[in-house]
């Protein structure tokens, strides 16, 4: 792939696609496929369904590209489309979802920790993932977007359609809930 294209921002790529260079959309897919697939897996728990949700997201994003506002960040816009697609699948399947049973994919997370080291460092262990499955989905989701996908509060806010201040509260409460569940389960923090 041409390295000049690698330096293009998402907004620049979208502008090129909207001007008729449809082949540039492959760069968007390349940049977001792994991240969106991981997020879809968090939500729907089934890798095959997550793959379908991710593919449907790229199709829907492409079809609705003109609704993207160029002055905005692209990442929250496409994550929101995936979120909506996943929620539709969840509603249809009427399953109770958790983050447990993510299989090998859960071992591939790269997490940047900056706060509450005792809780944050433990988030990658299998025992903590099992504890994560026992807290509310609204907390699971913000913790995953913040720690695993490295999204900022305002980006998570756009994805979930809640105020950024609420995201901060949910992250704090989610970490507290996770810590309590893990303590109740006998999972030690170092």
Nearest Cα to 76, choosing from 36, 132, 29? 36
| CATH 1.10.10.10 for domain 109-184 | yes
Q: Calculate the average pLDDT of the chain.
A: 80
Q: SS3 for 90-119, per residue?
A: HHHHCCCCCCCCCHHHHHHCCCCCCCCHHH
Among 48-62, 93-107, 108-122, 135-149, the range scoring the smallest mean pLDDT is 108-122
- Write out the residue limits of the CATH 1.10.1740.10 domain(s) in the chain: 7-93
- Write out the residue limits of the CATH 1.10.10.10 domain(s) in the chain: 109-184
pLDDT for 121 beyond 80: no
Residue labelled with tokens 């907004």: 11
Q: 7-93 adopts what CATH topology?
A: Rna Polymerase Sigma Factor; Chain: A (1.10.1740)
111-117: which pairs have CB atoms within 8 A and are 24 or more residues apart? 111/147, 111/148, 112/147, 112/150, 113/147, 116/175
Of residues 3 and 162, more confidently modeled: 162
Of residues 166 and 186, more confidently modeled: 166
């Amino acid at each position: 792939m041409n390295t000049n294209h690698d330096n293009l921002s998402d907004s620049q790529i979208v502008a090129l696609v909207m001007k008729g260079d449809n082949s540039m959309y492959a760069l968007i897919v390349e940049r977001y496929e792994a991240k969106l697939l991981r997020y879809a897996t968090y939500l729907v728990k089934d890798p095959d369904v997550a793959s379908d949700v991710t593919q449907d997201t790229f199709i829907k994003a492409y079809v609705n590209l003109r609704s993207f506002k160029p002055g905005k960040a692209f990442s929250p816009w496409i994550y929101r489309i995936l979120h909506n697609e996943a929620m539709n699948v969840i509603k249809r399947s009427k399953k109770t979802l958790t983050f447990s049973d993510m299989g090998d994919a859960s071992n591939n997370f790269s997490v940047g920790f900056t706060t509450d080291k005792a809780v944050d460092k433990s988030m990658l262990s299998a025992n903590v993932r099992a504890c994560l499955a026992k807290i509310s989905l609204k907390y699971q989701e913000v913790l995953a977007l913040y720690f695993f996908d490295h999204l900022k509060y305002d980006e998570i806010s756009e994805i979930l359609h809640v105020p950024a201040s609420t995201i901060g509260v949910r992250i704090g409460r989610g970490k507290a809930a996770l810590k309590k569940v893990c303590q109740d389960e006998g999972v030690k923090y170092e």
